[in-house]
Chains A and B, each alone.
Chain A
Amino acid sequence: MTGDERKDLVQKFAALFSLVVLIVAFSLTSDAFFSLGNAMTVSLQTTSIAFLGIGVTVVILTGGIDLSVGSVLALSGTVAGLLVKAGWPVYAGMGVGVLVGTLCGIINGLVVTRLKLAPFIATLGMMMIARGVALQLTGAAPVSQLGEAFGELGNGAFFRMLEKGANGLPHMIFPGIPYPVVLMVLMAIVVAFILRRLSIGRHVYAVGSNEEASRLAGVNVNGTKMFAYATSGFLAGVTGIILMSRLVTAQPNEGVMYELDAIAAAVIGGTSLMGGVGTISGTMIGAFVIGILRNGLNMNGVSSFIQQIIIGCVIIGTVYVDHLRNRR
């Protein structure tokens, strides 16, 4: 094992260790925390952060940043909701929703590669534009009564086992594995595969590590960046339709500040904001750290204000670790 892999592993173990500490601590302080049902709940709550975190990780690896994902998910979800409300079949409406997210990502990529604006500025602009369009389309009002089928993706589960209780009402034996959780695992595996086993993935790391060297080596630098932003937009679109499906309502105000959770998940998982360093597995750990922290604090009755303070401290702490790692 080389020194670098070792360092990477140490970082990952540190994150994994803090995850275990959190689980133990919350299991001791709350009876309801350590149960299969709650495990599924946490996983479900973590899916949004994970989807967005995976996409943002790819962008950060190229040396960029994507601040628009929270707004893009709202736009994607509301477009899907409005289309279904207008009579489109659910799969078509959701498909267009994901497409809209991807398109937003492509626009981000074009602004970064063609207009040569800093990624921070480009995606900050998209953050406002996408949110504005979502609010404009819906008149800032939620779109509800979308029908049961619209809620299937967000609320359905594999292997859910119900039993007719004595009183005739169904009683849940096993909550099942929610569709979003399955999709999250699938996406993580696919993106990790692309990053590790395909040349486009290698180029993502190379561009983030040394853009000029990549260009001189004949890497299509702009194409690589386009791929990163499009991936992030696509995953934001997926997050949007899943979130709105869970609510069975298209909410133009959904996802505010989610981009920061996503970036925090990536950084906690060892992704360097300087680019060139990071893994999908790390980001998944980071997403669960945030998800479990939220869930556990909720179960312990910690107010949402205090939660914000704690999560803020965790973010600063982990970015500081990132800083230390890159200083040497």
Chain B
Amino acid sequence: MNALSPVVEMNNIVKRFGGIHAVEDVSLNLYPGEVVGVLGHNGAGKSCLMKILSGAMAYDSGEIKIQGNAVEMSSPIDARHCGIETIYQTLALADHLNAPANLFLGRELKTRFGMLDDRKMEEETRKALRSLNPNFRNITEAVMNMSGGQRQVIAIARAIYFNARIVIMDEPTAALGPSETAMVAELIEKLREKGIGIFLISHDMDDVCELCDRIVVMKNGRKVGEHKVEDVNKDDILSLIIKGELPDNWAPRSRMSA
């Protein structure tokens, strides 16, 4: 899709839990400014593959290259150093802490004397959250008291605040209403324009077809399909998800209509 070299190369990644083959020999690339949709049934291995890339899960074998350099992705901190930020499916928020404490968790802003700069963190959080949702209030409330949508907005804000080069979104709109979902779509466009590479896991076929440049389908831990989004229609994708193969007599849709 473009002549640039990939920001992410995952080669032959394997992850097993005892007898369960969560990820089986999957290879996947991501280019700057590209949005790649990762699809598949529940349990297909999407979250595991993304957690491996974000350093949250150890992998059994395989290779990860970031901008051409092989890296050990052995902790979330490694991933962060590579410019990878993740919106986890579980959101990964500390429920008893407020929004600023969650947004800056693990990389708190400090004053000259090494103390927490709560005022600065609150200010920055307010800006970040308002840019996603202008109606965001109660920023200093513990996040356990917030709505699912608000919590998801905090998780999204955390992933984009720190100038990532690669953003992983594991079902980022699951708890969002229509207007917030539209906001996420807008956000993805903005990130793409900045040249950020995005992995988007979603069950919403319309979102995927509209936002993604390329789709990858997983089934039982294996990658069963990888196509430019203009080459497949929804039925093709469904067939990949359910049967693990394209419909008989399939040909790239872009060439057919041309």
Contact = CB atoms under 8 A, between A and B. Distances in A.
A218 B97 CA distance: 16
A276 B76 CA distance: 22
A216 B94 CA distance: 11
Contacts of B92: 210, 212-213, 216-217
A165 interface: no
Contacts of B142: 2, 4
A202 B102 CA distance: 10
Contacts of A198: 114-116
* Interface range, A side: 20 to 34
Contact of B94 (A199, A205, A218): A205
Nearest to B51: A216
A205 B97 contact: yes
A197 B115 contact: yes
Interface centre among A203, A205, A206, A212 (most CB of B within 10 A): A206
A206 B140 contact: no
B251 interface: no
Nearest to B141: A2
Interface in B46-83: 54, 56, 75-77, 80
Interface string A167-204: 00000000000000000000000000000111100110
B164 to A, nearest CB: 14
A206 B98 CA distance: 10
Interface string A93-116: 000000000000000000000000
Interface in A96-154: none
A323 interface: no
Contact of B141 (A4, A199, A214, A219): A4
A9 B198 CA distance: 44
Nearest to B81: A218
A197 B116 contact: yes
Nearest to B79: A218
A31 B130 CA distance: 61
A258 B88 CA distance: 43
Interface in A1-50: 2-4
B192 to A, nearest CB: 25
21 contacts: A2-B98, A2-B138, A2-B140, A3-B141, A197-B116, A202-B97, A205-B97, A206-B101, A209-B95, A209-B96, A213-B90, A213-B91, A213-B92, A213-B94, A217-B76, A217-B102, A218-B77, A218-B106, A219-B105, A276-B94, A277-B96
Interface of A: 2-4, 196-199, 202-203, 205-206, 208-210, 212-219, 276-277
Interface of B: 54, 56, 75-77, 80, 86, 88, 90-98, 101-102, 105-108, 110, 114-116, 138, 140-142, 145
Given A199-B108, A218-B106, 20 more contacts: A4-B141, A196-B116, A198-B115, A198-B116, A199-B116, A202-B97, A202-B101, A202-B116, A205-B101, A209-B95, A212-B90, A213-B90, A213-B92, A214-B94, A215-B56, A216-B88, A216-B92, A217-B92, A219-B106, A276-B94
